[in-house]
Amino acid sequence: MPVLLSKCYTEEVLIHLFKIRQAYLELAPTLSEELQSLTFLAISATLRLSSYVGTAQWQYILPNKRKAKISKPLNALDIQIALMLEDMHCMQCLRTASQATLLKEDARILEGIPDKSIDLVITSPPYANNYDYADATRLEMTFWGEVNSWGDLHDTVRKFLIRSSTQHVSKDRLKLDALIADPILEPIRDELILVCKELEKVRETKAGNKAYHTMIAAYFVDMGSVFHALRRVTTSDCKICFIVGDSAPYGVYVPVEQWFGKLANEAGFCLWSFEKIRQRNIKWKNRKHNIPLHEGRLWIEN
């Protein structure tokens, strides 16, 4: 029994969840691929509702936090399936069906996407804010037996993602000089070095000793690759919209949209502009620094 599951559920709830999982595993081979995926999605979507610890959507699991309301697994599954049914009826009433095709691709490479085939890109990439998307999937992946412990997350998930968390760089033991030397960083190298050196210095004064200096360098290497991959697959009249936010790890300001704009120019895109949507880091009293931040749409065109 993975420790995470025994921390998140009572024994009674776990028995129900395992029965549901067992039923799925027995039935899945008899179902079409679409029905398998829908059932898998419905079950996965109920896992947080029947846990008594802190499991808000998109949050890491907080085993010491208690929830006021928890659902019984079978009730949660009924509700989830009803919700999905309603969505499907709604689409069918409109006499429409999704034209979307999901491709499992790494945005840094876009391997299976032909050259000059895309005329609109709308994307919300990871921010350089140390959020660990691998950890966010831990409960679901543990339930399905895809990982057994936190330590498994790196090889199973994290190493395939844009390097936007310090977990990435500490695992990969990245060296700042090697990262900074990457040719992709050419248009921002001088500014980036100053920020990374400052982060390296500030780090010494912090108890957490987080490797933001290498995280930031690796983040821009990866995002530089994304712009190069996009340049290859987009048409000459393509519009690209990135939702971006700037960041200030350890209170050191990183002008994210400016650097994205320069990396995009270097990749061959002629125009970029930033449209601010909102301010960040101005509301909360418990914030770690008081550098005002913002968030908005970065538009990139040829």
Contact stretch for ligand SAM (CB under 6 A) within 119-127, 138-146, 278-286, 289-297: 119-127
Q: Which is nearer to ligand SAM, 79 or 243 (CB)?
A: 243
How near is the Cβ of 93 to ligand SAM at its closest, in Å?
Answer: 24
How near is the Cβ of 207 to ligand SAM at its closest, in Å?
Answer: 28
The residue among 251, 279, 266, 276 whose CA lies nearest residue 220 is 266
Residue 133 touching ligand SAM (CB under 6 A): yes
User: What distance in Å separates the CA atoms of residue 157 and residue 146, rounded to the nearest whole number?
Assistant: 10
Among 117, 124, 149, 273, binds ligand SAM (CB under 6 A): 124
User: Do 91 and 97 contact (CB within 8 A), yes or no?
Assistant: yes
User: Do 235 and 119 contact (CB within 8 A), yes or no?
Assistant: yes
Residue 279 touching ligand SAM (CB under 6 A): no
Task: Count Cβ neighbours within 10 Å for each residue of 54-84 and write b for 16 or more, e otherwise.
Answer: bbeeeeebeeeeeeeebbebeebbeebbeee
Residue 241 touching ligand SAM (CB under 6 A): no
How near is the Cβ of 248 to ligand SAM at its closest, in Å?
Answer: 18
Q: Which is nearer to ligand SAM, 126 or 224 (CB)?
A: 126
Contact positions with ligand SAM (CB under 6 A) in 156-215: 161-162
How near is the Cβ of 161 to ligand SAM at its closest, in Å?
Answer: 4
Angle at 29 between CA 25 and CA 33, to 5 degrees: 105
User: Do 69 and 35 contact (CB within 8 A), yes or no?
Assistant: no
Q: Which is nearer to ligand SAM, 107 or 202 (CB)?
A: 107
Q: Which is nearer to ligand SAM, 2 or 126 (CB)?
A: 126
Q: Which is nearer to ligand SAM, 79 or 107 (CB)?
A: 107
Contact stretch for ligand SAM (CB under 6 A) within 40-48, 91-99, 121-129, 202-210: 121-129
Site string for ligand SAM, 76-115 (x = CB under 6 A): ------------------------------xxx-------
Residue 118 touching ligand SAM (CB under 6 A): no
How near is the Cβ of 234 to ligand SAM at its closest, in Å?
Answer: 16
Q: How many residues bind ligand SAM (CB under 6 A)?
A: 9
Q: Which is nearer to ligand SAM, 70 or 179 (CB)?
A: 179
How near is the Cβ of 12 to ligand SAM at its closest, in Å?
Answer: 32
Strand partners, 244: 296
Q: Which is nearer to ligand SAM, 108 or 210 (CB)?
A: 108
Residues that bind ligand SAM (CB under 6 A): 106-108, 124-126, 133, 161-162
